[in-house]
Structure 1
Amino acid sequence: MKKKFLILITIGLLFNCKNGKKEDNKLNVVTTTTMITDLVKNIGGNLINVEGLMGSGVDPHLYKASEGDVAKLAQADIIFYNGLHLEGKLVEVFEKMHHQDINTIALADNLDKDRLIGSDYFQSNYDPHVWFNIDYFKQFAKKVTKELSLEDPENAETYKVNESFYLNKLIELKEKINNIIETLPKEHRILVTAHDAFNYFGEAYNFEVVGLQGLSTATEAGVQDVQKLAAFIIEKNVKAIFVESSVPKRTIQALQAAVKAKNHQVEIGGTLYSDALGDAGTVEGTYIGMFEYNVNTIVNALK
């Protein structure tokens, strides 16, 4: 409670010192997840300053704002975040920023809620892992372009050009992904992971998706959960299960051990990037590279 009070006080003090754009006259943009940071950098290019709060391997479900984060947020011209309660522990801070007239954008609010996957685990009542549907990520790109253009109309044309270039790359990605997945027989399309981050992926590419921890990593998998999923793996003859970069390996390792205890073998097919991208400067450190890496890892392991 004391830390929360100090953070809210810090917000007020920093907002009173906010001067808008920096001396280089570029927009100050703050983002939450690595996926959104990568997207905003592609649209904004060198016309904006981007500060991402979360890095590689960071779990947005559990992320709490530090005083340094609050300082970045309070100095922002625009804040982009996922929404749908993905960044659940930051909601109060975002609301405070909005009340201080900082342009605070939940990108998923722009999506058609009738087409989203429902969830009782989140206050939004929707599964927030929408970036695993490339078409939804395209809508994120369009929203980012619109908001940057409104905030910085002088550079609106450049933002639009960058958007067009990036959307074409997403179209190419979608085609490439479809071609890779077509090599995997439909009966092998069962994806078992640490938590249910891949439901939109499963819906788009006809995978049965099962997560050990459910939709949120804030929930712990119990012994019964492990045993039930182990029985499912044996029944369906699943060849591989997957670790996630932002979730501890122990849950999947416990599942593998439970399967082995029943005289059956299942391989750990590799590590998938779910709630965060790979390290900055690597192929997996981009949304497009992450998506292609994940699909190749899944398909190669399940073949």
Structure 2
Amino acid sequence: MERLKKLMVGLILLCLFISCSQKNNKSDGKLKVVTTTTMLTDLVKTIGGDKVVVTGLMGEGIDPHLYRASAGDVDKLSKADVIIYGGLHLEGKMAEIFEKLPELGKQVLNVGESLDKSKIHFIQENTPDPHVWFNTDLWETEAKAVTKKLSEMDVKNSGYYNQNYEKYKKELERLGEYITNRIKEIPKNSRVLVTAHDAFGYYGEKFGLEVKAIQGVSTDSETGTKNILELANFIVQRNIKAIFVESSVPKKSIEALQEAVKSKGSEVKIGGELYSDSLGDKEHNTDTYIKMVKANTDVIVDALK
């Protein structure tokens, strides 16, 4: 399996080398940026505005933990002026490709490297929790890193990028205040967030929620019957009112947890759907980072208070 993975990475890098060797003219003078997750796509569009053309590799509802590069992605990467990705093992199946791109002369920004390492949660010694966007302070740090990179590559528009960053920074501060005030509506002993996979650790730490999950920080980890039974016992003991499904994770594990609680003579409702590794859409008013985090907060508070 490992040998096949290395072969695939080698083929992708070879294709990129050939593509990058070909002349790529900028027809509109704008920076061409390729991003991975929908959160990063929104962030770069917010900072870059009409001075950049942003192409996201992952669409709505796509799980970055399991995502693999396609032939179309190779073409997009080869044409980019800069590639921006989350790092911290978020794009686990593509990490080796991103790490090799600078050797092909590509400009690459790993926003995870902009963070103070002491602020990052490590599940194991070399396994970070990549869901840093759920801490608004850490997301602001990554926004600053994006601003710096765009400004370095497009000096004449650096003032524009920095102006957008300062505006966004204030919006993030207001978002943090909104979440804090809403969480206060939940009784203290009910401030427990139970989800399918462990994506909300930073959110819980920042805003005062105890977080429990069936799977680990990656959806690539296995769901064990033991995990479900232990969590069911916890829910019964703590009299938890609601548990939550996620838009980019199959519902079956949470439904199994609900059944396990029922088998113990208790009831727990599914409080709603949260967006963890992907933004939502315009129809649900969750198509930007700020809208998505607000929507998550409202679903959590309304189900638990």
For Structure 1 versus Structure 2, the TM-score category normalised by the shorter chain is over 0.9
Is the 1:84–1:124 contact (alpha carbons within 8 Å) kept by the matching residues of 2?
A: no
SS in structure 1 of the partner of residue 128 of structure 2: coil
Shift of 1:4: 3.9
Measure the CA separation in 1 of the matches of 2:61 and 2:51: 28
SS in structure 1 of the partner of residue 93 of structure 2: helix
Q: Is residue 16 from structure 1 mapped to residue 21 from structure 2 by the alignment?
A: yes
Measure the CA separation in 2 of the matches of 1:4 and 1:125: 21
Q: Is residue 77 from structure 1 mapped to residue 104 from structure 2 by the alignment?
A: no
Which letter does structure 1 place at the counterpart of 2:102?
A: H
2:42 corresponds in structure 1 to 38
* TM-score normalised according to structure 2 size: 0.95
Which letter does structure 2 place at the counterpart of 1:76?
A: A
2:188 corresponds in structure 1 to 186
Per-residue CA deviations over 1:31-53 (Å, capped at 9, x if unaligned) read 00111100000000111010001
1:224 corresponds in structure 2 to 226
Is the 1:130–1:137 contact (alpha carbons within 8 Å) kept by the matching residues of 2?
A: yes
2:255 corresponds in structure 1 to 253
2:289 corresponds in structure 1 to 287
Measure the CA separation in 1 of the matches of 2:80 and 2:150: 13
Q: Is residue 25 from structure 1 mapped to residue 23 from structure 2 by the alignment?
A: no
Is the 2:9–2:97 contact (alpha carbons within 8 Å) kept by the matching residues of 1?
A: no
Per-residue CA deviations over 1:77-105 (Å, capped at 9, x if unaligned) read 11111111110110121122111121111
Q: Is residue 244 from structure 1 mapped to residue 249 from structure 2 by the alignment?
A: no
What is the count of residue pairs matched by the alignment? Answer: 300
Measure the CA separation in 2 of the matches of 1:18 and 1:285: 35
Matches within 5 A, 1:1-303: 1=4, 3-19=8-24, 22-120=26-124, 124-279=126-281, 282-303=284-305
Cα gap change, 1:86 to 1:291, in 2 (>3 Å):
same
SS in structure 2 of the partner of residue 28 of structure 1: strand
Measure the CA separation in 2 of the matches of 1:82 and 1:153: 24
SS in structure 2 of the partner of residue 168 of structure 1: helix
SS in structure 2 of the partner of residue 50 of structure 1: strand
Is the 1:186–1:206 contact (alpha carbons within 8 Å) kept by the matching residues of 2?
A: no
* TM-score normalised according to structure 1 size: 0.96
What are the ranges of 5 or more consecutive residues in structure 2 without an aligned counterpart? Answer: none
Measure the CA separation in 2 of the matches of 1:8 and 1:116: 30
Cα gap change, 1:162 to 1:282, in 2 (>3 Å):
farther
Per-residue CA deviations over 1:135-155 (Å, capped at 9, x if unaligned) read 000011111111001000011
Identity over aligned pairs, percent = 51
Measure the CA separation in 1 of the matches of 2:246 and 2:23: 38
Cα-Cα RMSD = 1.3
Which letter does structure 1 place at the counterpart of 2:15?
A: T
Which letter does structure 2 place at the counterpart of 1:186?
A: K
Measure the CA separation in 2 of the matches of 1:281 and 1:130: 26
Shift of 1:5: 4.1
